[in-house]
Structure 1
């Protein structure tokens, strides 16, 4: 407890410096926000089509398909929405390609027009 008698919680985590953002186009939210799809133009020279579906609560799973190449990554993330501000924040915990042990963390911020 702290000096005011309030219970304190000790947390750990990681900080990610995201620097410059990548361009996202054609973002769509469907079925009351249970499905999210968007196109991403990445600095690696590829374009990605991302499709996400709610699994449970804020947990979403989906895929990212690269062009050119057609490689399919399996995605997992948490989606948080602030409807009063028109902001959707996607915090990606998984971006994995089949046969690869590497996992990429990712983040997306979508804003209503």
Structure 2
């Protein structure tokens, strides 16, 4: 399946790389080369309904963020939206909101 998309935070779109959809859509993985200079590998799994939870691992330092999001999909249009409500690091009190838009080519 060919998919294109972008990751957004602070209104800046970052290209999604190596998108993988597994287990009938219950698991999603992708990579982001972020403008902050880090490369992130994101893995999320369905927790309940549209609620997904997972992790983002940054490179080169290997820090892990805990993620919470909702995944919405329009199969007929080939569109998926991931609305991230949580991106938290254990050593920081901050929570970052994030957003991903994907569209089948």
The SS at the match of 1:21 is: strand
- Give the match for residue 43 of structure 1: 35
Compare relative contact order (CA 8 Å, sep 6+) and give the higher one, 1 or 2: 2
Structure having the larger proportion of residues in strand? 2
2:80 alignment counterpart: 88
- Relative to the length of structure 1, the TM-score reads 0.82
- Aligned partner of 1:32 in structure 2 is 24
Partner of 1:77: 69
Q: Does 1:98 align with 2:59?
A: no
For structure 2, the residue ranges without an aligned partner over 5 or more in a row are 1-8
> Cα offset for 1:18?
4.7
1:23 shift after superposition: 1.3
- Structure 1 stretches of 4+ moved >4 Å: none
Instruction: Report which of the two structures shows the higher radius of gyration computed on alpha carbons.
Output: 1
